[in-house]
Amino acid sequence: MEILDSSVAAEVADKLLEIKAIQLKPESPFTWASGWKSPIYCDNRISLSFPEVRNLIKDQLVKSVMHYFPEAESIAGVATAGIPQGALIANDLELPFIYVRSKPKGHGMENMIEGKVTPGQKVVVVEDLVSTGGSSLKAAADLKKAGFEVLGMVAIFSYGFDIASENFKNAGIKLICLSHYEALLPRAIKKNYISDETLKSLSSWRKDPGSWTP
């Protein structure tokens, strides 16, 4: 995983904290669907309700695609949160847009991919959030199965788990993120969202989220 730019990572982290798209509560952790206890909750869909933040994210994701994947011929959003971000990027770049479901539609054509499927087309995948990378990489695999050439993936935020880096490496998919957990913590301290006392606990969660306790 790479970040576009350290200053962008800091700015995006600041904005996500400011609009409460990211919340840090190590003393009262959230519970993920996996059962993991987490001191952080991230819902980047909230950014869509704030034009300034929405445009910041859109502009930087567009820049990421142009810099790392200039040969892109289409943009694919991962359902559901990657759909609006992907559509915004595709509109700016004047490229075709498609999106990938987590499972086939249960009626009609039962599509996994919505939009025009063009085998051989070079596509960049758009995610809002990357945790372990499982659902993101499944979407990339489904695109490949449909005949697309997947150039890589861009995302707003990543927790920076080692398992995610390993999964993307094994899949041969390049991941570019605007910001990540490592960039977030210093900003959270600077903005007084957390104290120095809680930093150690927050840092330990990222290293071993499965066994972390508050």
Q: Is the pLDDT of residue 104 over 80?
A: no
Strand boundaries in 97-138, DSSP class E: 97-100, 113-114, 122-130
- Mean pLDDT along residues 41-58: 97
Residue 27 lies in a domain: yes
Range of the domain at 176: 2-196
Residue 107 lies in a domain: yes
> In the structure, what pLDDT confidence band is assigned to residue 188 with cuts at 50, 70 and 90?
very high
Q: What is the DSSP string of 63-88?
A: HHHHHH-TT--EEEEETTTHHHHHHH
Q: How many structural domains is the chain composed of?
A: 1
Going by the annotation, the residues of the binding site for orotate are 131
Reported as a single tens digit per residue, the pLDDT across 125-172 is 999 999 999 999 999 999 999 999 999 999 999 999 999 999 999 999
Residue 60 lies in a domain: yes
Going by the annotation, the residues of the binding site for 5-phospho-alpha-D-ribose 1-diphosphate are 101, 105, 107, 127-135
Residue 163 lies in a domain: yes
Q: Give the CATH number for residue 52.
A: 3.40.50.2020
Question: What pLDDT score does 106 carry?
Answer: 55
Residue 39 lies in a domain: yes
Longest dimension (CA), the chain: 55
Backbone phi, psi, residue 89, to 5°: -65, -50
Here the tokens at position 75 are 């943009």
Task: Identify whether the C-beta of residue 179 lies closer than 8 Å to the C-beta of residue 156.
Answer: yes
Going by the annotation, the residues of the binding site are 101, 105, 107, 127-135
Task: Identify whether the C-beta of residue 89 lies closer than 8 Å to the C-beta of residue 75.
Answer: yes
> In the structure, what pLDDT confidence band is assigned to residue 84 with cuts at 50, 70 and 90?
very high
